[in-house]
Amino acid sequence: MGVVGLALVAAGLLVWAPWGAGEPAATRLDIAGEIATHDPALVVGDEGEDWYVYSTGDVRVGLGAPQIRRSADGGETWEMVGTAWDAQTRPEWVYEAVPGVENFWAPELYEHDGTWYLYYAASTFGSNRSVIGLMTSPTLDMDAADYGWTDQGQVWASDPATSTYNAIDPGIVEDADGTPWMAFGSFWGGIQMIELEWPSGLAADGTEPTLLASRNTPTNAIEAPYVVERDGWYYLFVSRDKCCSGVDSTYSVAVGRSQSVTGPYLDSWGNDMRYNGGDELLSTRGDMIGPGGQSVSHGYLATHFYDGANGGAFRLDIREPGLDGRRLARRLDPGRGSATSPDHSRPYAKEHHDHHYPASRFPCRSCGPAGVWVVR
């Protein structure tokens, strides 16, 4: 997500804040077409190229595979163009690893050395018997002769008998040495991170999960991690509170940062995200209810939210960066309301699962001279 902090020197201390007072809000793209997406993984094409959004699948369409939408007009109009696989190409091993799986959640797109990596999650509601799988393709262009996703197998898994975390919601980032890392997690033991390796894109030998963030509450309502690096700092974005409940959703986006990819991640007050820290960046405002599941590409921020003017139907939202060097205000939409606190007295119910946000390899094309992400 294109949001970073402002460093200030005060009383000899380095302080940062992810927003500034009185600064302009992001410009929302006026999008149309088939935009009923959940957990959008946005890829912005270069000039003259198509844009893509991969999103959580629907069991009624393409065997629940991640859905693919494409825009040929700079992200303004979207059409559903298919799913990542069909009956002949689906990852059959997943159905044995996760009995009862129906659809595939929270895809992540990441490009490395000319290969596209499609990470996805498979699970069932209310269980941490889950896997994160991987497919690769030389291109996203569905009209290209060499387009097609090849199953690369399991990246990571969790099991109720042995795991305190939930292996869903993958997000990829590279550190300064080019080593890939995968953040993941939802509820249970919070947000975790493991080391990967290129070119396989799979887990590195001997890697073990490192805790990045937790709410430390009975429900531990945190998920959908997304990490981006900027000028030696790593920014961890998470979705918090209750998703997937239409107009009753209380989803919101929070952030912290660290100089190490594995943390600790602190908010602007110095609170550790492992102990419920994190600055809230985006939450319910008017008919935009429960925004989250964020991704970023070329500085464009994509989320899903529940449309209060349309009975709580979920839909895509894309915000356009500016190029004037001004810092992102806390209020991505001016005058937004605060997120409602989650109800921890009842089980967490999901009619759809949400996640996050893929990490993009694209350089920051919307950064000002201070090295901050900007909006207009």
Q: Active site residue: 39, 174, 307, 333, which one? A: 39
Cross-strand pairs, 104: 122
Active site residue 47: no
Q: Active site residue: 50, 174, 223, 307, which one? A: 223
Phi, psi at residue 197, to the nearest 5°?
-145, 145
Segment holding 94, helix H or strand E: helix 92-97
Phi, psi at residue 363, to the nearest 5°?
-70, 160
Segment holding 92, helix H or strand E: helix 92-97
The closest alpha carbon to 61, from 74, 75, 80, belongs to 80
In contact, 85 and 104? CB cutoff 8 Å? no
**Rounded (5°) CA angle 181-184-186:** 170
Active site residue 223: yes
- The token duo for 129 is 């018997």
Grouping H, G, I as helix, E, B as strand and the rest as coil, residue 272 is strand
- DSSP conformation letters of 103-147: SEEEEEEEEETTEEEEEEEE--TT---EEEEEEEES-S-TTSTT-
Sign of the dihedral through C-alpha 63, 194, 38, 349: positive
In contact, 98 and 124? CB cutoff 8 Å? yes
**Rounded (5°) CA angle 298-234-322:** 30
Residue 339 CB contacts under 8 Å (≥ 6 apart), including other chains: 241, 250, 251, 252, 280, 283, 284, 290
Which residues are annotated as catalytic? 39, 223
